[in-house]
Chain A
Amino acid sequence: MKIKQKYLWITILLIGNVIIGVSQNNNPLGWNQFRGPDRNGASIESLSDVNWLEMQPELIWKKELGSGFSELTISEGIIYTMGSTKTDSLSGFEFVAAYDEKTGNKLWNTKVDSIYIDHDGWGDGPRSTTVIDETQIYSLSAWGKLSANLKEDGRLLWQVDFIKDFGSNIPRWGYASSPVIVDDLLIMEVGGSDSRAFVAFDKKNGEIKWSNGDGNASHDSPLSVVLDGQEQTIFANGRTLYSYSTKGDTIWTYSMPFGGLTAIPLLIGENKIFLSGVRNPGFIIVEIKDGKPTEILHGNSMKNDFSSCVYHNGYIYGYHVAALRCISAETGEVSWTKRGFGKGSLMLVDDKLVILSDKGRLAIADATPKAYTELTSIQAINGKSWTAPSFLNGKVYIRNLTEMACYKIK
């Protein structure tokens, strides 16, 4: 009887947690991966009760963090991310670490690879963002080591090496693609030889479940979406857009007019994919109908460099090189342009844009095509800030190459 009661309480607690989680976000695991729960830079948390006339983001904590570009993933009160530590000018290590979301205090830290030292001076350390499931955290080092660690204590469970195990060549600025989870699979752009450009690993043990495609590893991350009622993982690799089923079968491919994309493909509505890069034409929108991709719009009014866009009510918001811009997803027409954020980043929370400039200014503005209307802004973090912010439970989490910070919005 006692055992039954215990299970009843656990069940109630679990359901309660799920309900609360869902009400706060559309994924019970929180901001659990690159660009958030749906990999679209958006949170559905409501900001409707915020008094923007009085609101100023409130610093909760700021902590040192080793160099890296990985976004902060947050789940169940814990922040997971990657960073690096230099032991001397030529060496060091990259790590996966967990921090208490309330205080920013470190819970554990596990080395996963040698440090990637960027000789161009853009910044050392990992580029990829971790992904979290119920028990594990998955990460990719800038030297191409894919690791699975236990969330509880950071213990390494398995690791594969893209260069040694797959014959992959390191991309120009290190491995940067962020892993995506589909069911029990961890799907990655590996850039391996022998039709192993794209690989699905068994989350439990790192075994290869399927591989497909030819192409080098790029700096872009895959998007997992349901199109035409079918779950598919989309890769923008070289000048080709690939779509694979969860079993690794090619659903469709599309020859893009440009290559070398870094911004993640963005789902527009139910069946359109927005892709943007700095090369002409700048952006294309591809519609997927009956398993066939067709370009329905292209233009040069949005040219994403390394920062990804968000979509809201028929409009795309993002960085046209170094100018924040709103364009129509129907026509590509520019609604407004706002300079001053450099090559910053942004996300969408409710109907607000949460913007981080490339020098660490945090601003919140209405996501509306009418005009750029800033509601609040604060110099949140100093120095080069190329990592997009994360959002969970009314708080914004940001990082740069030296520190991370948490600001309360509501």
Chain B
Amino acid sequence: MELNKKQYLLVVIMLFIITLGNAQTVDDIIAKHLKAHGDLDKWDKVESMKITGRFTAFSVEDDFYAIKTKDGKYYSELQLGKHGVIEAFDGKTGWTIDPWQDFSFPRELNKNERNVFIQKAEFFTPFYKYKENGCTAELLGKQVVDGVEVYAIKLERPNGFVETWYLDADTYLEYKRESRWVDFAYGVPAETYFDDFRNIDGIIIPFFSEKTFWQRNRIIQIENIELNGEFDQNIFVMPRSNQIEKLNFLIGDWGVRINMWSRRANRWYKADSTNSKIEYIATNLIQENISFIDHFVQSNITNFSFNASSGNYFSTVYSGFSSEFQVFNGNFTDSTFVLQNINMSCDSSDASIQIKATYSEISKDSFVIDVSQSNDNGINWMPGPQLVYGRIHK
């Protein structure tokens, strides 16, 4: 029996309709992907995951610890070759202490790194509520990757970064992800493979992931996940350096008595009293705003920071009186903290005036600053104003 033209056309249309009926949309596939990850109601009850396992870098395996929260926070401690690395992300910004980059102190993450930490912090799968979260997804089709049939889905995140996810066509669980990663803070392409899916209280989580980027290879083998466990919320905050924390005695609201030295009477006398506020204005930067009268009005803005390469504290003092900056450096000597001005003249022989600020009698609720001045290269020092700080308890 031969088909006439009309019959042939009818068969083609029916086949097309059947094919259309069988074809899965991206949301069909995502729905199956979410179902494969377990009970969504249970996922909704998970607020945090405390993860312990093993991390492999440079072919050496070591302990791994991470915390992820539902609102996109992430913290981890891992061993990367000979160096321990700490990294944290609060969902928007983050920091890392990575000695491989020759920094022993925490530094902020750049844009490429923030995109990496969004991936690291992935709590569940980016396809859960992806539209609500500002992502778009596009089905690229059915493909074969390493002999595995997969659905390839292009995912664009709200930050503009694009990823390709390959979901196993049988299990609908993720098999592979292609995304942007970082190597020494520079953006590089990466491939991540997922495996060893385990059921934890009704939710399905990949316990194994292997990532290749550039010539790097990293493996995470999770050993245990604790859901909704206790942890210190402060771990996501960029830690201050130990050195700057030595200046914590400065922090607070202060009542300040200004004493001046009477050469005639050979004693201090009170010239003024004022208030001062000293606070952190950045992770490792302390600032004081103070205004007092020693004869003229002295309105100073003083910044304190620590310079790791020189091993000294630096302080910039902006004087409202002269509208000039002075730069001081110094360190702790026994129980006092001493800063001395740096000669800012282009002519190094012009040692002119030296100013020294000595912080002493440091206690929980008080300290004293003695300002002194030398006109002969530090041989003789004349007392300047003395500032006596007492904490204001609110």
Task: Please list the residues of chain A having a beta carbon within 8 angstroms of any beta carbon in chain B.
Answer: 120-122, 278, 303, 305, 321-323, 334, 336-337, 339, 342-343, 358-359, 371, 383-386
Our pick among B81, B146, B219 for the contact of A336 (Cβ within 8 Å) is: B146
A120:B82 contact, CB within 8 angstroms? yes
Interfacial chain B residues near A334, Cβ < 8 Å: 146
With a cutoff of 8 Å between Cβ atoms, the chain B residues found around residue A383 in the complex are 60
In the bound assembly, the distance between CA atoms of A321 and B219 in angstroms comes to 13
Q: Are B215 and A278 in contact (CB under 8 A)?
A: yes
Given contact pairs A336-B146, A342-B59, A321 touches B82 in the complex (Cβ within 8 A): no
Closest to B80 in A: A121
A305 to B60, CA, bound (A): 16
Once bound together, how far apart are the Cα atoms of A386 and B56, in whole Å? Answer: 14
- Report if A386-B59 is in contact (Cβ < 8 Å); known contacts: A121-B81, A121-B82, A371-B147: yes
Asked if B146 contacts A337 (CB within 8 A), the reply is yes
| B214 CB contact (under 8 Å) in A122, A278, A386 | A278
Counting chain B CB atoms within 10 Å of each CB, which of A122, A371, A386 scores highest?
Answer: A122
Chain B 243-270, CB within 8 Å of chain A: the 1/0 string?
0000000000000000000000000000
B186 adjacent to chain A (CB < 8 Å): no
Given contacts A343-B59, A385-B59, contact A321 B217 (CB under 8 A): yes
Residue of B nearest to A323 (CB): B212
Number of inter-chain CB pairs below 8 Å: 42
Contacts of B59 in A (CB 8 A): 342-343, 358-359, 384-386
| Chain B hits for A303, CB < 8 A | 215
The yes or no answer to B122 lying at the interface (CB within 8 A) is no
| Cα distance A375–B196 in the bound complex, in angstroms | 22
Contact with A along B40-69 (1 / 0, CB 8 A): 000000000000000010111100000000
Distance from B276 Cβ to chain A, minimum over Cβ atoms (Å) = 47
Which residues of chain B have C-beta atoms less than 8 A from A278's C-beta?
214-215
Of all chain B residues, the one with the shortest Cβ separation from A386 is: B59
Q: Does any Cβ of A come within 8 Å of B127's Cβ?
A: no
Q: Write out the residue numbers on chain B whose beta carbons fall within 8 Å of the beta carbon of A305.
A: 215
A384 to B193, CA, bound (A): 22
With known contacts A121-B81, A384-B59, A342–B147 Cβ distance under 8 A: no
Distance, CA A13 to CA B331, complexed state (A): 81
In chain B, what residue has the closest Cβ to A342? B59
Of all chain A residues, which has the CB nearest B145? A337
Most chain B C-beta atoms within 10 Å of own C-beta, residue among A322, A334, A359 = A322
Collect the chain A residues with CB atoms within 8 Å of residue B82's CB.
120-121
User: Which residues of chain A are within 8 angstroms of B217 by Cβ–Cβ distance?
Assistant: 321-322, 342-343
Q: Are A342 and B219 in contact (CB under 8 A)?
A: yes
Q: Which residue of B lies closest to A279 (CB)?
A: B215
| Mask of B125-154 contacts with A, CB within 8 angstroms, 1/0 | 000000000000000000000110000000
Does B77 sit within 8 A of A, measured CB to CB? no
Q: Within 8 Å CB of A321, what residues of B?
A: 212, 215, 217
Chain B 208-225 near chain A by CB (<8 Å), digits 1 or 0: 001010110101000000
- The answer to whether A122 touches B61 (Cβ under 8 A) is no
Chain A contacts for B58, CB-based, 8 A: 121-122, 384
CA distance A322 to B146 in the complex (A): 14
- Could you tell me the distance in whole angstroms from the C-beta of B146 to the nearest C-beta in chain A? 5
Q: Which residue of B lies closest to A322 (CB)?
A: B217
CA distance A14 to B27 in the complex (A): 75
Q: Which of B60, B81, B210, B215 contacts A339 (CB 8 A)?
A: B210
The CA-CA distance from A339 to B219 in the complex, in Å, is 11
Q: Kindly list chain A residues whose C-beta atoms are within 8 Å of the C-beta of B214.
A: 278
Q: Report the minimum CB–CB distance from B294 to chain A (whole Å).
A: 54
**Besides A122-B58, A336-B147, A342-B59, 7 new A-B residue pairs in contact (Cβ under 8 A), listed by A number:** A121-B58, A303-B215, A321-B212, A323-B212, A337-B146, A358-B59, A385-B59
From A303, which residue of chain B is reached at the shortest CB distance?
A: B215
> What's the least CB distance linking A339 to chain B, in Å?
6
Q: How far is the CA of A278 from the CA of B219 in the complex (A)?
A: 19
Decide if A384 touches B60 in the complex (CB within 8 Å).
yes
Of the candidates A121, A342, A371, A385, the one whose C-beta lies within 8 Å of that of B56 is A342
- CB-CB under 8 A from A343, the residues of chain B are 59, 217
Q: How far is the CA of A386 from the CA of B58 in the complex (A)?
A: 10
- Closest-by-CB residue of A relative to B217 is A322
Can you name the residue of chain B whose Cβ is closest to the Cβ of A122?
B58
* Alpha-carbon separation in the docked complex, A385 to B59 (Å): 8
Task: Tell me the bound Cα distance from A148 to B277 in angstroms.
Answer: 74
| Chain A residues near B215 (CB-CB < 8 A) | 278, 303, 305, 321
Can you name the residue of chain B whose Cβ is closest to the Cβ of A340? B210
List chain A residues, Cβ under 8 A from B219: 342
Task: Report how far A278 CA is from B217 CA in the complex, Å.
Answer: 12
Q: How far is the CB of A403 from chain B (nearest CB, A)?
A: 16
Pull 25 A–B residue pairs with CB atoms less than 8 Å apart, ordered by A. A120-B81, A120-B82, A122-B81, A278-B215, A303-B215, A305-B215, A321-B212, A321-B215, A322-B210, A322-B212, A323-B212, A334-B146, A336-B146, A337-B146, A337-B147, A339-B193, A339-B210, A342-B219, A343-B59, A343-B217, A359-B59, A384-B58, A384-B60, A385-B59, A386-B59
Chain A residue with Cβ nearest B211 = A322
Q: Which residues of A contact B210 (CB under 8 A)?
A: 322, 339
Q: Which residue of B lies closest to A358 (CB)?
A: B59
List, in ascending order, chain B residues with CB within 8 A of A121's CB.
58, 81-82
CB distance from A402 to the nearest CB of B (A): 13
